[in-house]
Chains A and B, each alone.
Chain A
Amino acid sequence: MKIFRLFFWVLAFFLANHLWATNDPSIKIKETSECVLEILYSESQDIDKEILAYLSKNYNLNIIIRRTLGRNWNKIDSAHQNKVVELIKRLVLRAYIDGMHGKMKPEIKYSKTRYLSKKRAEVPTFVYLSDKPLALTYRVGLVSDQWEIFDIVVENISIVLTYRNQFDAFFDNNTSEALIEKLETLLTNENLGKSLPI
């Protein structure tokens, strides 16, 4: 009898965990966005690193990066794959951070989550950096019972699609070494992102 009771509790635990994980993805996005804004408008010296660490803790960022590369993933030497992922992660993060950065801390309004299927949803938000709101939509997918961000759409422009098209064109004539060089140049350019409204 004891074994059945134990089994029941284990089942209940997994069921509760499953339900918790599959609830409205906007809850987690709201919490994360608010924390990112806190860091962004803090006096921290290393904002990028702190945000990256915080986001990595809450989301599997490799998903969005792998999606920006799409089929080009196989064109990257296996020895370079990790480095490419890290560099693109920083580039995409920089684009996101600069999009959220303004003279004053923006106000974010969250609209109702749109469920496209059991495993796909969109969380539309409006970022008020000035009088005119910026439409920013998070596309999320259920991966291992967690809602993970797989694309960010700013004013109808998908970050994943825009970068993926560039990688497609880049790999027509270049190698992964050239990509690393290009990404490092972009990231070390001190002007990058100073006026980057994605």
Chain B
Amino acid sequence: MKILVNRFLYNKVLLFTTLLFCSCLFADDSNLDYGFSEEENWSDDTETKSDLLEPINRSVYHFNDFIYLHFFDPVTNVYVNYTPESVRNSLNNFFTNLKYPVRFLSNVLQVKVKEAYYESLKFGINSTIGIFGIHTPSDKYDFLNEIPNEDLGQVLAVWGVPAGPFIMVPILGPSTLRDLSTRIVGREINPIDVSSDNWDTVDTQWIALLNTAEILSLNEEMLPRYKGLKKASIDPYTALRSTYFQQREQEVSQ
């Protein structure tokens, strides 16, 4: 009788362990979605819902595409081929440094006191030792390199202002109503963007030259990315919209 009970228990244990191993080994394989939840496999349709003006946006996208590839690209190529890399880097540093007021104000409005202080410190070092920001001696300090790049659009997002509809802006590219409105406000505090009210009091030729240089500097970085994205995309418009939303979401969450 004792042998029978032992045999019964032994068979039970063996059966249980076999079932356990089988379930461990084949549990995920039997799932066609590789164990990913439905939420993980489905896309978020926030982007599609916010693109209320899609037909117009797509037309603007085609217009921008034409301008980028037929006007900006050749000019940028000339700029890249005939300007030494050191000069291009200096120009890029100079414009980045000039946008300090926007970054500082955006940090202050989000009560990011430490970041606002670091931005000021970075601006101070690069504007003096770095000669008007053309060099970046602040790079030596890791804590000054890790400051998130803030703008007024992020301020509104943090304050709870909804992004509004997606807008493909002529020449400027993807944006939302919220971000576009802050660009206009940003002009008031950006030293090289002048609002139309002040056009009589400043040397417009000088400002136009600075703006052109800034566009060239920006295009040097952005155009290869744009062309790469376009070449590898099934639907370049959707790809651009998606990358814009993902980038902004990350910037706001930082």
Contact = CB atoms under 8 A, between A and B. Distances in A.
B33 A179 contact: no
Given A150-B36, A197-B225, A166 B17 contact: no
A79 B150 CA distance: 49
B41 interface: yes
B34 A141 contact: yes
Most B CB within 10 A of own CB, among A67, A165, A170: A165
Interface of A is mostly: helix
Contact of B231 (A11, A157, A179, A192): A192
B86 interface: no
B24 interface: yes
Interface stretch (B42-50, B174-182, B191-199): B42-50
A86 to B, nearest CB: 15
Given A186-B232, A193-B228, A144 B28 contact: yes
Nearest to B247: A156
A60 B36 CA distance: 14
Contact of B43 (A70, A141, A143): A70
B242 interface: yes
A119 B21 contact: no
A91 to B, nearest CB: 7
A68 to B, nearest CB: 10
B149 to A, nearest CB: 12
Interface string A152-185: 0001111001111111111000000001001100
B246 A157 contact: yes
Nearest to B13: A7
Interface residues of B, number: 38
B164 to A, nearest CB: 19
B29 interface: yes
Interface string A60-72: 1001001100110
B128 to A, nearest CB: 22
A63 to B, nearest CB: 5
Contacts of B233: 166
A10 to B, nearest CB: 9
B242 A165 contact: yes
Given A70-B42, A70-B43, A141-B34, A192 B232 contact: yes
B226 to A, nearest CB: 10
B234 A167 contact: yes
Given A156-B250, A170-B234, A197-B225, A66 B33 contact: yes
> Which 9 residue pairs of A and B lie closest in terms of their CB atoms, listed nearest first?
A196-B228, A156-B250, A165-B242, A169-B238, A144-B28, A166-B235, A166-B234, A164-B43, A162-B242
Given A150-B36, A170-B234, 10 more contacts: A7-B17, A141-B34, A144-B25, A162-B239, A164-B43, A167-B234, A169-B235, A189-B231, A196-B231, A198-B232
Interface of A: 7, 11, 14, 18, 60, 63, 66-67, 70-71, 91, 94-95, 98, 119, 141-145, 148, 150, 155-158, 161-170, 179, 182-183, 186, 189, 191-193, 195-198
